[in-house]
C-alpha cells in the first residue's frame, strides 16, 4: 500500500504545551457530550429512539408486522424518510423475505447497504424492539468511534487548527444528518477511515477487509480503492497489487448483489440508483441556482441559508482538491474520486435541506480537512470548507415531545417492547405542538376535547393531572361521561390540576375541556388562545 508523503509547501504543525492540549481535549469532550445529549432528545417516552427512523404515515406502503407490533413512532401526515427502509431491512437481514418487496420503496437499491442492518440484528439478538433501538443508536456509536479514530490525524498537540478540522468533520451536515435519520453514511465513513488507518499502519489485508465492510454499508465507499493505488505511475507491481486488492475489496459487495439478483430483476424496481447520476456538474450547478434564487426571493432563512453555506463548503472542498493535486497522498486520491462523484450527482441527491449530497460526500469532507493548509493563512479556507456545521446543528434540533404521557401498570401504559393499551389524542380545539425537546406545550383556541383510547378488553380507573396556564383568569371545567371531574379558575401563573378518578371503559372516552372562547394575544399570530397545556398525565390502574 502506498503511504502518504508530507507536503513540503505546508508549514510544519506547531506543537503546543500540556495545558493547551488538556484544553483541546476538554473542548473536544464538551463537543462530544453536546452531540450525545442532543441525540438523547430523540428518545420519546414509550417509543424509544424510533423517532429517528422517520416512519411516515402517508408513505403509501405497508410496514412490516414487527413495526406495528412495537411502539415505533410514526410521523403523522408525512411520507417519512429513508431511515424507515433500513430499519425494516435490519429486522429481516437476509433480505430474501418476499414481504420486503411490499414495504421497501426500492428493494435492490436499499438492500445492497446491508452491513449496518446485520450489525443491528446481531447486537439486538434478533428481538425486534432491541434491533430497532440498536439500529437507531448505531450512528451515535459510530460517531463516537470516529471521534477517537480522528485523533490519529488531528492531534491535540497541533492546537486549535486540528480541533477545527476534527470538529469540522464530526459536526458536518453529513455526519449529523446520518445520525439524525439513522441512515448508512456515518457508519460507512467510519469503516472507510478505519481502512485508511490500517493501510497507513501497513496492515494491507485488514485494510481491504475494512474497505469491504464500508462497501457493504454504502456502495459508493468502494471508491476507497483509490487509496490502494501506487504512488508512482510506473510501478507495475504496485498496480497489479492494487488491482488484486481492489477486486477483493469489491468482491463481498458483488457477491451480495448477486444474491439479490431476484430483487433487481423485478420489473417494478428496474431503477437501482442509476437515476442518481447525470451529466458532469449539472446537478451541482442546478443546486447553486436553486439556493441563490431562494435567497434572493425570500431573503435569509435559517434552514435554506444553512443549506447554502453547506453547499459553499462542498464547493470549497472540491476546489481545493482540484487546485492542489497530490497523487502521492492517499487522502488526495480519495478526495479526487469523490470530486468525480460530486460532478455526477443528479438533482434528487442535491435537493432538500441539507440534502443527501452532504452525506454522500462525507469522504470528501474528511479528505479536505486532512489536506487543507495549516497556519493562519489557511484558516479562512479551513473555516469556509467547514460551514456545513450550521446545517449539522439544525439537524440535531430536538423534536417537540408530546405533552401527554400515560402512567401506571405496564400492561396499560406500555414500555420496552410492549405497545401501550392506553393512549391519548389531543383532539378538537388544540393547536399543534410548540417548543423544542421536553420543553413543549399545546394551546387551545377555546373549548377542546382530549380523546382517551383504551384498547384493553376491560375497563380501568383513571385520573388526569395537568400543568396549564391561561393568558387571563378564566373558569375551566373538565368533564368525563357528562360529569364534572374538576372545576376551578386558571390564571396566568403556572397551575397544577388533578381530576377526580373516573372509569375508562374500552374504546374512546372524551375528556371535555370547557374553557370559553380564547382571546387574541400580542405576538400570537392572530390566533385566539385560551389554555396553554404543558403536561397532561393520564394515570391509570386496574
- Contact of 449 with 478, CB cutoff 8 Å: no
**376 with 433, same domain?**
no
Q: How many degrees, rounded to 5, is the angle at CA 67 between CA 61 and CA 71?
A: 130
Instruction: Report whether pLDDT(524) > 70.
Output: no
The 8-class DSSP code of residue 14 comes to P
Tell me, yes or no, whether 9 lies in a domain. Answer: no
Q: Of 365, 395, 425, which residue is a domain's last?
A: 395
- Return d(Cα 70, Cα 47) in angstroms, integer: 8
| CATH value at residue 418 | 2.60.120
- Give the tens place of pLDDT for each residue, 152-210: 999 998 889 999 999 999 999 999 999 999 999 999 999 999 999 999 999 989 999 99
Residue 104: pLDDT band with limits 50, 70, 90: very high
**361 with 331, same domain?**
yes
Q: Of 373, 395, 417, which residue is a domain's last?
A: 395
- Give the tens place of pLDDT for each residue, 332-371: 999 999 999 999 999 889 988 888 999 999 999 999 999 9
Tell me, yes or no, whether 202 lies in a domain. Answer: yes
- Contact of 177 with 307, CB cutoff 8 Å: no
Nearest to 143 by CA among 354, 395, 324: 395
Q: Are strands 532-541 and 404-408 parallel, antiparallel or unpaired?
A: parallel
Backbone angles phi, psi at 528, to 5 degrees: -75, 130
Burial class (CB in 10 A: 0-12, 13-18, 19+), 27: middle
Q: Of 395, 420, 452, which residue is a domain's last?
A: 395
Tell me, yes or no, whether 184 lies in a domain. Answer: yes
Tell me, yes or no, whether 340 lies in a domain. Answer: yes
Q: How many degrees, rounded to 5, is the angle at CA 197 between CA 241 and CA 318?
A: 90
The domain total for the chain is 2
- Return d(Cα 307, Cα 302) in angstroms, integer: 9
CB-based contacts of 313, cutoff 8 Å, min separation 6:
172, 365, 384, 385, 386, 387, 388
What's the mean pLDDT when you consider all of the chain?
89
- Joined together, the cell numbers standing for residue 1 give 500500500
526 compared with 37, residue with greater pLDDT:
37
pLDDT at res. 419: 66
**388 with 468, same domain?**
no
Tell me, yes or no, whether 6 lies in a domain. Answer: no
Alpha helices in 220-260 (DSSP H): 236-259
Segment among 98-112, 212-226, 286-300, 522-536 with least mean pLDDT: 522-536
CA distances from 190 to 140, 172, 193 (A): 11, 14, 5
Tell me, yes or no, whether 248 lies in a domain. Answer: yes
- Contact of 211 with 170, CB cutoff 8 Å: no
- Give the tens place of pLDDT for each residue, 64-87: 999 999 999 988 767 889 999 999
- Joined together, the cell numbers standing for residue 132 give 430497532
**376 with 421, same domain?**
no
pLDDT at res. 334: 97
- Joined together, the cell numbers standing for residue 174 give 453529513
CA distances from 59 to 77, 419, 461 (A): 9, 22, 37
Tell me, yes or no, whether 10 lies in a domain. Answer: no
Q: Quick one: how many helices (H) and strands (E) in the chain?
A: 22, 16
Instruction: Report whether pLDDT(397) > 80.
Output: yes
225: Cα separation from own chain's centroid: 27
**384 with 247, same domain?**
yes
Sign of the C-alpha dihedral computed for residues 455, 459, 461 and 465 taken in this order: positive
At 449, which helix (H) or strand (E)? Answer: strand 448-454
Tell me, yes or no, whether 335 lies in a domain. Answer: yes
**409 with 372, same domain?**
no
Angle between helix axes 362-371 and 330-344 (nearest 10 degrees) is: 140
Task: Please state the pTM of the whole predicted model.
Answer: 0.80
**348 with 446, same domain?**
no
**417 with 386, same domain?**
no
- Joined together, the cell numbers standing for residue 437 give 425537546
Which domain, by its residues, includes 412?
A: 404-541
**81 with 208, same domain?**
yes
- Joined together, the cell numbers standing for residue 171 give 459536526
- Give the tens place of pLDDT for each residue, 398-439: 777 778 888 887 677 665 455 678 889 888 898 877 776 667
CB atoms within 10 A of CB 361: 29
CB-based contacts of 535, cutoff 8 Å, min separation 6:
403, 404, 405, 465, 466, 467
**409 with 526, same domain?**
yes
- Return d(Cα 178, Cα 83) in angstroms, integer: 9
**415 with 509, same domain?**
yes
**390 with 408, same domain?**
no
Amino acid at each position: 500500500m502506498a503511504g502518504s508523503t508530507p507536503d513540503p509547501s505546508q508549514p510544519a504543525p506547531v506543537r503546543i504545551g500540556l495545558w493547551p492540549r488538556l484544553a483541546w481535549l476538554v473542548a473536544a469532550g464538551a463537543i462530544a457530550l453536546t452531540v450525545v445529549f442532543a441525540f438523547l432528545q430523540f428518545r420519546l417516552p414509550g417509543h424509544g429512539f424510533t423517532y429517528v427512523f422517520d416512519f411516515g404515515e402517508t408513505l403509501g406502503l405497508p410496514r412490516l408486522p414487527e413495526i406495528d407490533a412495537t411502539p415505533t413512532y410514526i410521523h403523522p401526515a408525512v411520507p417519512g424518510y429513508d431511515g424507515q427502509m433500513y430499519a425494516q431491512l435490519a429486522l429481516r437481514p437476509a433480505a430474501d423475505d418476499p414481504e420486503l418487496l411490499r414495504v421497501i420503496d426500492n428493494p435492490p437499491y436499499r438492500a445492497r447497504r446491508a452491513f449496518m442492518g446485520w450489525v443491528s440484528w446481531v447486537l439486538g439478538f434478533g428481538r425486534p424492539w432491541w434491533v430497532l433501538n440498536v439500529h437507531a443508536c448505531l450512528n451515535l456509536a459510530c460517531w463516537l468511534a470516529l471521534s477517537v479514530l480522528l485523533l490519529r490525524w488531528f492531534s491535540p498537540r497541533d492546537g486549535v487548527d486540528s480541533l477545527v478540522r476534527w470538529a469540522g468533520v464530526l459536526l458536518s451536515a453529513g455526519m449529523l444528518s446520518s445520525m439524525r435519520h439513522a441512515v448508512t453514511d456515518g457508519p460507512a465513513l467510519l469503516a472507510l477511515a478505519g481502512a485508511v488507518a490500517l493501510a497507513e499502519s501497513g496492515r494491507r489485508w485488514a485494510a481491504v477487509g475494512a474497505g469491504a465492510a464500508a462497501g457493504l454499508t454504502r456502495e459508493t465507499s468502494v471508491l476507497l480503492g483509490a487509496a490502494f493505488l501506487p504512488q508512482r505511475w510506473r510501478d507495475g507491481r504496485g498496480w497489479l497489487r492494487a488491482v488484486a486488492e481492489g477486486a477483493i475489496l469489491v468482491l463481498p459487495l458483488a457477491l451480495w448483489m448477486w444474491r439479490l439478483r431476484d430483487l433487481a430483476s423485478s420489473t417494478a424496481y428496474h431503477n437501482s440508483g442509476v437515476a442518481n447520476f447525470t451529466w458532469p456538474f449539472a446537478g451541482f450547478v442546478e443546486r447553486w441556482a436553486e439556493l441563490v434564487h431562494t435567497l434572493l426571493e425570500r431573503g435569509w432563512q435559517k434552514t435554506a441559508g444553512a443549506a447554502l453555506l453547506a453547499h459553499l463548503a462542498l464547493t470549497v472542498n472540491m476546489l481545493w482538491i482540484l487546485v492542489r493535486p497530490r497523487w502521492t497522498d492517499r487522502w488526495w486520491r480519495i478526495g479526487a474520486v469523490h470530486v468525480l462523484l460530486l460532478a455526477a450527482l443528479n438533482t434528487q441527491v442535491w435537493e432538500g435541506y441539507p440534502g443527501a449530497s452532504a452525506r454522500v460526500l462525507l469522504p470528501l469532507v474528511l479528505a479536505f480537512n486532512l489536506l487543507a493548509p495549516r497556519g493562519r493563512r489557511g484558516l479562512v479556507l479551513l473555516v469556509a470548507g467547514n460551514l456545513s456545521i450550521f446545517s449539522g446543528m439544525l439537524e440535531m434540533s430536538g423534536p417537540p415531545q408530546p405533552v401527554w404521557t400515560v402512567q401506571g401498570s405496564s400492561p396499560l401504559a406500555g414500555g420496552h417492547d410492549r405497545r401501550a393499551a392506553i393512549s391519548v389524542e389531543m383532539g378538537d380545539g388544540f393547536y399543534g405542538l410548540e417548543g423544542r425537546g421536553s420543553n413543549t406545550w399545546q394551546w387551545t383556541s377555546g373549548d377542546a376535547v382530549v380523546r382517551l383510547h383504551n384498547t384493553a378488553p376491560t375497563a380501568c380507573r383513571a385520573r388526569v393531572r395537568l400543568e396549564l396556564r391561561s393568558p387571563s383568569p378564566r373558569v375551566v371545567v373538565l368533564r368525563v361521561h357528562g360529569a364534572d371531574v374538576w372545576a376551578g379558575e386558571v390564571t396566568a401563573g403556572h397551575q397544577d390540576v388533578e381530576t377526580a378518578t373516573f372509569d375508562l371503559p374500552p374504546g374512546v372516552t372524551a375528556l371535555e375541556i370547557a374553557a370559553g372562547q380564547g382571546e387574541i394575544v400580542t405576538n400570537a399570530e392572530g390566533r385566539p388562545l385560551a389554555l396553554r397545556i404543558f403536561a397532561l398525565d393520564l394515570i391509570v390502574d386496574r
